[in-house]
Structure 1
């Protein structure tokens, strides 16, 4: 019996593999592989907020859609997690390379402090701030009339962990100081005095001084924009709340902008941080192509626009308005008047019934040829509250979505989906060869699957599994992985889990549906024949991942 089993084991295995191969490959309709060349028509420098993928890689990838080569400083002089970047070396590199490109997008936090995390430490001196202003004047001379877009981030309410005092009490004081500035409640004033007795005066001064320095820097940068040293300047608000010293600084700067009477096309304050560079890349593309989008905003229910999402200092609707303003968009009141629909799904445990309605509505819009940028958010960061699973259930042709985003905060996602969609829409009329048009579609699809795989599958499903696995095995701090032990192990688990989900997604009816692309050589009916995701943790923590989709495009007869 054993000899019989051994004799037939290999043939049975071979037949099984042939059946699997037949089902997954041979049964597919005949098609021709598309070979493309990535052409670049312009070049821009990016000094990113930090080296995390949303701040750097996402901008580089989006540039490919527009045929823009986005170059960044060498990794050896950039930040890495808690290691700050070499600001002086980055400034030197920027000066040396600005004459070779068509413009620049620069993070002031990187140029002055060495990255976002370093900017929260309040260690930069006034003399260093003055030196940076001199540097920016020199940069303008080197750049001649090339556009220089800059952005700076307001400090968040959470104090730096290097302070010895209770951070919760400092946050409480921060909120009360803002409330007192508005309501002048005597009980709040007394509570602040009581709380001050429990923390070090030096720590509170350090905390408040960070905002004073940031305000002074922002006012200097506003003046630089007024005299056209900077082409455009954006102030981003990181991880906001209803009340806090960050809001006081924001109002102070808003009043200053009103006093100096500078238009919002030149200087603007917006919610968000990580996505600001991508929004500025969209502005760069718009300036090159003279593109002003007409956008219709759709929500999944009547309460969505008024919802205040976690880590936000305002409603979803106010954030949408800011991002439309940043994009110089015209908001229209009908999808038939729009060149782009921004569909904002805000899921929570009270509106699960809107998932089906929204999926059907999106499917209808796509069938009409509408271009949709989908923002897919959950109030509790839960997959069950998002619309994406319903899209798969209803066989919605997801390859026709112009953009998708559902990561981190509402401002991150709205800004990302809108910027990617605008870059795509602005670039499409600029390309007149079949190769460049198909490359645009390839890059759009790659970005689309990057966001779906990370924003939905990783951030809504996989991350919790990995964190639980770490803690079950005795690793409590998921934000400080051991590079020699659990980091490698977690990367292996991440890749295995992502492989399974990528395979399932690729084989869904939604992903299998072809797209039609008009080219000078006729209509190309394109299908994705292979989808894989390369993943790892760029920093030793599970909060974010590096993800690169690899897909093969085929032309159907």
Structure 2
């Protein structure tokens, strides 16, 4: 019996070994013969970026898009920049910018970084009058030195959440903020009484500090608007971060919109929009558009009729209103059919009631790509759930994701819509301006790098791996995943993160859609291209699990036909 059992086990092991060899052969060996394409990264322009902070969406994503555009993005030395709760050295950053402006073709500058040392620092301190005046003088001096070089600037409205330094109950402060806005609109007597009661429960000093934060920010933004009207600032964007339906930030936004209208300033000079982290990327797209004289014709399509009316988490308006703002930001002409469009912006808003739209959306996008249409895909979930997004269905339905012009599905609706549209506009604007095979293929390589970074972070990390990381930390006794201990769990978690994300990259690498070839027209004729060997380098840039710094490495290959 033991002998028979041994023979049976040996036979089963042999079958398993042969099966694994066949799978390996089919996935790794039996690929069409191809030659790796060696490319040189060339740049046409240099652009300085003073980012909102050093997180990847505010800095790295702009640098990567710059490569696609042939724009070298130059940033200040890391030692003078912010790092998580450590603010940037504003004086040194201002000096560095003034010293380097003449070496560039323009600048994208975060006012929050120049004035406070980053977004988090701006939430802590607010704006002092003397500091504002010093900054405004600096902007005038910068324009004098920059001469005709464009200065793109952006500033972010304070969030409804009060600064953590205030002692009063933050939930009650937020409720007061909402009520102040609601009362200004509806004048409901019950709300007026509730507001008075809530004010009794908090320190008047804290409320004064909170309200003064918005007053001073409004005053600064009006001064920045005046600079834009004078031509000191080429384009100013004022972003609303983490908004809600009601609150003092909404009142500030309305006040600034009215001020801009009263001065007769156009949207291409001053733009007030939802969002924050993606604004620098949108301004890079504007810079590229001015260099190429490109105005996109965009057809917008949603996965269902309710999608455009949906108000997503942390948004002060519907998905549709956000799309309209981002189209204005991109100076886009909205068209009524895919046939008229140079770009299709497909917005997928998933929830637990419309999962039946996943397959039809995937097939619709597949059809567009087969027709040669350029598609920018926004892939969002109402509940930040992997089950509600479109990406897994793209893989299942063999949608050629290598041909997507852009993809985004991270964080808020404004973040993703702005990212997908900006990257697509950059690609569409710059692609026709290149006339060498190297540069044409480099555009495609950079597009693919950007998209695969988004696939891996926006889907695999933010919808799957982040939960694994947080649960693992909590199982080991670390409750606060937003304050990792650098000496104990940071290195260990980075190793776990790298291992898990490479496994996901391997899954994607072995998928049918990854291997799908695509065609690119070059001066040497049509190239049949494919990509191989997807590798990922990833770590936590700040001591928290909220975001990752992710670099993709892949081989662009030409098929031997």
TM tier, smaller: over 0.9
For residue 146 of structure 1, what is the aligned residue in structure 2? 149
CA deviation vs aligned residue, 1:356-406 (integer Å, no higher than 9, x gap) = 110010000000000000000000000100111111110000000000000
**Cα distance in 2 for residues equivalent to 1:20 and 1:38:** 36
For residue 392 of structure 1, what is the aligned residue in structure 2? 395
Give the deviation of 1:124 after TM superposition: 3.7
Give the deviation of 1:184 after TM superposition: 1.3
- For 2:355, what is the secondary structure of its paired residue? coil
- For 1:120, what is the secondary structure of its paired residue? helix
* Structural mapping, 1:403-482, within 5 Å: 403-482=406-485
Give unmatched runs, 5+ long, in structure 2. none
* Structural mapping, 1:65-76, within 5 Å: 65-76=68-79
* Structural mapping, 1:118-137, within 5 Å: 118-137=121-140
Contact 1:372/1:403, CA 8 A, preserved across alignment: yes
**Cα distance in 2 for residues equivalent to 1:18 and 1:394:** 26
Of residues 276, 281, 284, the one that matches 1:281 is 284
Give the deviation of 1:23 after TM superposition: 4.1
Contact 1:122/1:206, CA 8 A, preserved across alignment: no
For residue 262 of structure 2, what is the aligned residue in structure 1? 259
- For 1:305, what is the secondary structure of its paired residue? helix
* Structural mapping, 1:349-360, within 5 Å: 349-360=352-363
**Cα distance in 1 for residues equivalent to 2:423 and 2:267:** 21
For residue 348 of structure 1, what is the aligned residue in structure 2? 351
For residue 310 of structure 1, what is the aligned residue in structure 2? 313
* Structural mapping, 1:70-85, within 5 Å: 70-85=73-88
Q: CA RMSD in A?
A: 1.8
**Cα distance in 2 for residues equivalent to 1:258 and 1:14:** 72
Of residues 506, 511, 514, the one that matches 1:511 is 514
Q: Structure 1 length as normaliser, TM-score?
A: 0.97
CA deviation vs aligned residue, 1:422-457 (integer Å, no higher than 9, x gap) = 000001011000000000000000000000100011
Of residues 194, 200, 204, the one that matches 1:201 is 204
**Cα distance in 1 for residues equivalent to 2:307 and 2:217:** 33
Give the deviation of 1:26 after TM superposition: 2.4
For residue 338 of structure 1, what is the aligned residue in structure 2? 341
CA deviation vs aligned residue, 1:148-167 (integer Å, no higher than 9, x gap) = 00000000101111111100
CA deviation vs aligned residue, 1:142-181 (integer Å, no higher than 9, x gap) = 1000010000000010111111110000000000000011
> Structure 1 residues 16 and 388, CA, compared in 2 at 3 Å: closer, same or farther?
closer
- For 2:353, what is the secondary structure of its paired residue? coil
**Cα distance in 2 for residues equivalent to 1:329 and 1:200:** 48
Contact 1:233/1:267, CA 8 A, preserved across alignment: yes
CA deviation vs aligned residue, 1:453-488 (integer Å, no higher than 9, x gap) = 000110011111111111121111000000111111
**Cα distance in 2 for residues equivalent to 1:542 and 1:253:** 35
For residue 35 of structure 2, what is the aligned residue in structure 1? 32
Give the deviation of 1:109 after TM superposition: 0.2
- For 2:420, what is the secondary structure of its paired residue? helix
Give unmatched runs, 5+ long, in structure 1. none
For residue 490 of structure 2, what is the aligned residue in structure 1? 487
**Cα distance in 1 for residues equivalent to 2:40 and 2:27:** 28
For residue 61 of structure 2, what is the aligned residue in structure 1? 58
Give the deviation of 1:17 after TM superposition: 9.3
Contact 2:127/2:217, CA 8 A, preserved across alignment: no
Q: How many correspondences in the alignment? A: 551
Contact 2:408/2:454, CA 8 A, preserved across alignment: yes
Of residues 220, 237, 243, the one that matches 1:240 is 243
**Cα distance in 1 for residues equivalent to 2:157 and 2:124:** 13
CA deviation vs aligned residue, 1:63-110 (integer Å, no higher than 9, x gap) = 001100000000000000000000110000000000010000000000
- For 2:312, what is the secondary structure of its paired residue? coil
